[in-house]
Structure 1
């Protein structure tokens, strides 16, 4: 994902709250240490809760393949003057939206800022993003890789169906950015095994992959989903 420069800065609204030292250190290490590098793509405040979809510009200098989107859920206790938080680095904004919705954010309250990222190129992209936002409990993420090479900006995600009987149990979701037209496309393919899915990902990153295989028809009727855990940092068997 490529994000235009923004003058907006994230405000976690914690100035009047206290917490034990361990919690503050945990929040600092996982979130606040890079506060000046976080660009708010979407946020919603419903006291005592705040929900953030953030683009992490510092991830460019991290491990190859690192996810660049950060979802943050803050909960404040004004009587005790303390707070708690959850956070998750995720590869796609739609997955961050899904993660936050499943933690109580209203579904329609996290619209992405259209001025910051490239818009969807077509209806197929918009439809898949809606499914990713809406059903974060159906699939778990096992792997992702983000490439910010200006000649081939791509994000690859492997999802596993929680239903062991699902056809095309493994999905590969691919976002590609057209930097000249300033648009992005999102597509998915279906695989029977995790090995097949990961091999396709590895081939895509080296320019050797064929077209994504179609999702098997019965699985298409069930809605695709988001993520529940943090991604891997680089493709299997190769370095970038």
Structure 2
């Protein structure tokens, strides 16, 4: 990964909030995962390799929304920390970044399967529907991280666990979404792992729709019953031996 260039040379913070954010951001520590520049505005997803050196489980993926005003020689900066890439992309999309402009430009692990792509796409395009309440980052030799979020549109199973697992040998990862009635149930599953991760109902619906679509396509491909020729009757007087071709 390359070091992140915030392009702030000669610019001063435009307001107190930006000054505080900038003072708390060691900009030379960040490495770019993805970036979209739109004139004087930059949407950035960056990795901070130093995040967990002092305090364990500090988020090491950060979204930045940077707006520069060259005429005033100022800039504004907003940022948010995340445990996984998809939530970092979601935050920037909610702030106006085109969704297709945030693909990683760094050499990072790739999704291992189609379900991972579907789960991450749901996160990216969920708007403000998912509110993360707990998280565990992947750092060092770790191969697993997770985010627990409340789905504001969820009814019976509003608490969602997004579980990310690395496969270092393949340089890939998987993401799965589990659904729970409350935080206690999600925490209990993380602690015990005695059952498979309870699948979110959204994927049950998608699976049933796929099965229905396949069934309908098979039915449509069959000829009408009246056009299916009947097999010729075998004469009773000359039966065919078992196992011999007609």
Provide the TM-score with structure 2 as the length reference: 0.76
Instruction: Return the match for 1:99 from 69, 91, 104.
Output: 91
Residue of structure 1 in register with 2:152 after alignment: 162
Q: Would the alpha carbon gap of residues 190 and 20 (structure 1) be closer, same or farther in structure 2, given more than 3 Å must change?
A: closer
Q: Any residues of structure 2 matched to 1:220-235 within 5 Å, and which?
A: none
Kept in 2: contact 1:168–1:219 (CA 8 A): no
Shift of 1:83: 1.3
Kept in 1: contact 2:151–2:159 (CA 8 A): yes
Larger Rg: 2
Residue of structure 2 in register with 1:183 after alignment: 172
Q: Any residues of structure 2 matched to 1:51-70 within 5 Å, and which?
A: 51-70=43-62
Aligned length: 206
Residue of structure 2 in register with 1:124 after alignment: 115
Residue of structure 1 in register with 2:3 after alignment: 9
Aligned with 2:111: secondary structure? Answer: coil
Residue of structure 1 in register with 2:73 after alignment: 81
Q: Would the alpha carbon gap of residues 171 and 48 (structure 1) be closer, same or farther in structure 2, given more than 3 Å must change?
A: same
Q: 2:147, 2:7 → 1: CA distance?
A: 32
Shift of 1:21: 8.5
Q: 2:122, 2:36 → 1: CA distance?
A: 20
Q: Is 2:190 the counterpart of 1:201?
A: yes
Gaps of 5+ in 1: 1-5, 222-240
Q: Is 2:135 the counterpart of 1:153?
A: no
Gaps of 5+ in 2: 207-246
Q: Is 2:127 the counterpart of 1:136?
A: yes
Q: 1:16, 1:74 → 2: CA distance?
A: 15
Kept in 1: contact 2:130–2:151 (CA 8 A): yes
Shift of 1:106: 1.2
Residue of structure 2 in register with 1:109 after alignment: 101
Kept in 1: contact 2:89–2:124 (CA 8 A): yes
Q: CA RMSD in A?
A: 2.2
Shift of 1:20: 6.1
